[in-house]
Amino acid sequence: MPLHEEIFHKALASDIRRGILISLSKKEKYLSEISNEIKKKPQTVDFHLNLLEEIGLIGSKWKEGKKYYFLKDRKILDFLREGRPVPLYLRPKPPHEIVIDAWNDLSKKLDRIEKKVDRILMNKK
């Protein structure tokens, strides 16, 4: 997968970021406008705006005392319109799945240790 597609997938793994990008597809906007449009708290939107700006999908500029955001890469709109699914490996896992994965990994390691201990004890007899 080309790097730009992987970045797009990661950006689109969040409903909030998808909402921001769609909002900015219409025109440049400042934080409060975006926040009101996608019905999320300004702090939440600000976090996602910073991430989108860091990966280069949006830009910002100060105008009349407000920071306006705009799309830098219009290719993201094609990607959104195509409606391609985000691959599972790029989707964030819910906390309970992270705990289950960690438990399974730990369980496998403990099983291997137990087998090694059993072999050592068998050889001592």
The model's pLDDT over 74-115, given as tens digits with 9 standing for 90+, comes to 777 777 777 666 555 545 566 677 778 888 889 999 999 999
> Which of 63, 69, 58, 72 lies closest to 32, judged by CA?
69
Mean pLDDT of the chain: 83
The reply to whether the predicted model has a pTM over 0.85 is no
Nearest to 14 by CA among 86, 71, 76: 86
CA 59 – CA 72 distance, rounded (Å): 6
pLDDT digits (tens, 9 = 90+) for 54-74: 877 889 999 999 999 999 877
CATH of domain 3-91: 1.10.10.10
Domain ranges in the chain?
3-91, 93-125
